[in-house]
Amino acid sequence: MSGIFRRDTDRDWETLGANQPYWGVYTHPDFVGQQSLDSEKRATFFESGESFIPWLRASLEQRLGAPAEIGAALDFGCGVGRLLIPMAKRATRAVGVDSSAGMRERCAAHLAEAGLSNASVVASLDEVKGAFDWVNSYIVLQHIEPKRGYGFIERLSALTARGGSLTLHVTTGRDAHLRGPSWLKAPQQAIAHLLHHLLAKPGLIMMYDYDLARVIALLTRDGFGPMYLEPLNHGGHHSVIIHTRKIG
Ligand SMILES: C[S@@+](CC[C@H](N)C(=O)[O-])C[C@H]1O[C@@H](n2cnc3c(N)ncnc32)[C@H](O)[C@@H]1O
């Protein structure tokens, strides 16, 4: 599909970062339209990251022999810091990347509130240099058109140090009720669907599926070894978290 038929998802996330920073990350009714969270909601929101990160680390360490000590860690699509904060607590240094200014602003504030001076946030992977002992991206690539997303995966792969770990979440398919109308069976609905995606005002959350075989081939080419795949089903959107280490 040519450029004019593509949704500008960065613009969507710019809007979501400004208007729906917490709901954009955690689509629970409690967080709709919230610009700041009361202590109970805040605890629920950040606890979801505080429990997720130890689970990922345990998998990397127990299944793949990753060392418990983490030097540099990178979180691509860090949002307001839900995962970056617990990553920074465990690493010597942590970097978050997020294209949305509103998300970055809140993320930086949350890092400061947590007293984490070893972590920083930047707007683009182009600004990130060096090799990281742990690279993570969760519920991010699913919102980025795959043609572009495969490029981000290549960059994340290149930024992983030899011996380093990668936890990468990619959406691979969806239940029938979540698929768009068929161009062959329902061409008018398919056109209406496409027009909605092109013309809806900024702030839409797009979902895209990736070719898992292509992602695995790319990582294998770049020297990643054994992989553990954790399948997830988020309301009919099927995905995997690839847990792997670069050995070559
Ligand atoms: C659903 S949120 C997930 C945030 C975080 N990973 C978490 O689990 O808490 C998706 C994030 O990806 C970011 N994002 C979307 N497109 C991006 C891009 N092209 N580059 C960097 N970040 C992007 C959004 O701004 C948003 O903060």
- What total number of domains does the chain contain? 1
Give tens-digit pLDDT for 70-90.
Answer: 999 999 999 999 999 999 999
Q: pTM higher than 0.85 for the full model?
A: yes
Domain with 120 in it: 3-246
**Mean pLDDT confidence for 169-195:** 88
| Separation CA 96–CA 202 (nearest Å) | 24
Give tens-digit pLDDT for 121-180.
Answer: 999 999 999 999 999 999 999 999 999 999 999 999 999 999 999 999 999 999 988 888
User: Quick one: the chain helix, strand, coil %, rounded to 5?
Assistant: 45, 25, 30
Query: How far does CA 70 lie from the centroid of its chain?
Result: 20
* Neighbour tally for 172: CB within 10 Å: 18
242, containing H or E segment: strand 237-246
- Centroid of ligand 1 to alpha carbon of 10 (angstroms): 9
Q: Beta strand pairing status for 224-234 and 119-122?
A: unpaired
Residues with a CB atom less than 6 Å from ligand 1:
9-10, 13, 17, 24-25, 77-79, 82-83, 97-100, 103, 138-140, 143-144
Check pLDDT > 70 for residue 183: yes
- Centroid of ligand 1 to alpha carbon of 183 (angstroms): 30
Q: How confident is the model at residue 234 (pLDDT cuts 50, 70, 90)?
A: very high
- Centroid of ligand 1 to alpha carbon of 186 (angstroms): 33
CATH code, domain with 127:
3.40.50.150
- Centroid of ligand 1 to alpha carbon of 217 (angstroms): 24
Of all protein residues, whose CA lies closest to atom 27 belonging to ligand 1? 79
Mean pLDDT of the chain: 95
